[in-house]
Structure 1
């Protein structure tokens, strides 16, 4: 795919779509003299952090300064912006599946789209674009810019589905462990991490869902009639995923609440037992303390059976209290 030739220019890959699901790769040096046929279109995928990318975008892409500023912004949120001449800017977010990265630290994909050209920029690698290249190699890729943008959005959405399913399975596992073993204590740090991950995903997926809804109503000449149905399906999919995320957050809350209730019940039971034991030993402690004072007239102080009598009295008191507590159903 000429990636080695293109790397020094910041161009990840350049593809000419043949209009039938296939594509041919071209090098950066071929762009200046490239002439597209009526059924062909061009996809340029750039590394946004590369200086040559920024230089080409501002000086050779033909885009307005306004469009270049937006595409090169440091921080963006999912958004859709219509441009003159039936062009658009589309900013999407994808799950970060790079090694050592947090999936909810989503990767930004900035897209410029027109009738015969798509320019996309990313900072970090995206699995979605790699899968799209595989589809081109099999001749099953998108046929035009409208389908290309749609395919990118679909691949990004599928990765979200996999991550949300993973989070849901973790919560399922924790719930099963709690139900199976009343002494099981979930790791609060990992449980709270699930909630934070769900919140991070929702931050970008909610506006992205709204964008898919806007694209359902977008009427550009180079969009086909069926595109609206596919965008509507993506909108419904993201709505379902957001509902699943909200449910996952609520279930995490229920897991933590269940653990707190079990901990409170366990502590109450322990304190109750301590209270009963204290109630039993309180009168016995009073007797031993009273007989241990160093003053005259202490009963049985000179009686050889005094200790045995005292122990018997305390035993009778203890048994009496045990019987009394049993009658009250405290034991």
Structure 2
């Protein structure tokens, strides 16, 4: 599913000699200083394709502006094209669960594109304004750390909510609980669809041999990749546990139906001979024994109670009344 369109917002920051300043987006391509420049494009623009600076190659621009993307990392000459997925600032009912960010990264310049606001960008911008991002390696490492940090609590919350469902399995309404578990399983599958490729993209980035990817950057990239790997494993565990709980609820429902069917069968079996007796004595014909005796009604009632007691005793002796 493609992400929804929104008005284009361009922002550019430049970090030079420990000083961070705003840079007009139109001047990014002409910038020739020694600082690190970050241009961020948010929104779809006209016909879903905002205008990118001329320094971005056509094949990279097509990848940055593609309607549907999956996390990946490609080395292109002296630059890197990396796509990641992270938590959005707002839930979009007509889009994927995670928002994509596509980044064209060079040593002294990074160009990022998102169609919807990404929650992690606030932390990246704060790091940029604090002067901690000095090249493309720092930028991607900070972005990976921020995305994984934002997403980690959401994944953990899925496990906690599944734990709650597991604790309510003997008491809660089966049908409502099944719907909750199915929703959690669906969310886990939707998240894992992008979390695992995020891990692979960052692992690939950490192995690239560029001077602007420092040893510290590689460490942060591997750390974020490990966090994504752990989240992928947790999401897989949530999916499998949800499937097991669903099966357990199905078995529990079948057991409840069996119990109720047994109760109905016992009642029907008790009333079957009684129905025969009352039907036989209720025939409008001559010759019914004791028809004119005063005690006849109470005698028939006592006889029916005796039959019911015998049937119940027979069921009890065969342990058919036990749960």
Match of 1:17 in 2: 15
Where in structure 1 are there 5+ consecutive unaligned residues?
Answer: 1-7
Match of 2:104 in 1: 112
Separation of aligned partners in 1, 2:111 and 2:201: 19
Separation of aligned partners in 2, 1:291 and 1:261: 45
Separation of aligned partners in 2, 1:176 and 1:310: 52
Where in structure 2 are there 5+ consecutive unaligned residues?
Answer: 1-6
By how many angstroms is 1:241 displaced? 0.4
Q: Quickly say closer, same or farther: Cα 1:246–1:55, change in 2 above 3 A.
A: closer
Match of 2:90 in 1: 98
> Any conservation in 2 of the 1:19–1:143 contact (CA below 8 Å)?
no
2:167 corresponds to 1:170: no
2:72 corresponds to 1:75: no
Provide the secondary structure at the position in 2 that maps to 1:178. coil
Aligned counterpart in structure 1 of residue 312 of structure 2, from 306, 313, 322: 322
Give the CA RMSD over aligned residues: 2.6
User: TM-score scaled to structure 2, two decimals?
Assistant: 0.88
Which has the larger displacement, 117-126 or 289-298?
289-298
Which has the larger displacement, 224-233 or 269-278?
224-233
For residues 37-52 of structure 1, what are the structure 2 equivalents within 5 Å? 37=34, 40-51=35-46
2:113 corresponds to 1:121: yes
Separation of aligned partners in 2, 1:188 and 1:320: 42
Separation of aligned partners in 1, 2:161 and 2:294: 70
Separation of aligned partners in 1, 2:243 and 2:47: 48
2:28 corresponds to 1:28: no
Match of 1:224 in 2: 214
Separation of aligned partners in 1, 2:94 and 2:316: 57
Q: In the comparison of the two structures, how many residue pairs are matched?
A: 316
Aligned counterpart in structure 1 of residue 272 of structure 2, from 264, 269, 282: 282
Q: Quickly say closer, same or farther: Cα 1:252–1:27, change in 2 above 3 A.
A: same
Match of 2:3 in 1: none
Separation of aligned partners in 1, 2:87 and 2:250: 33
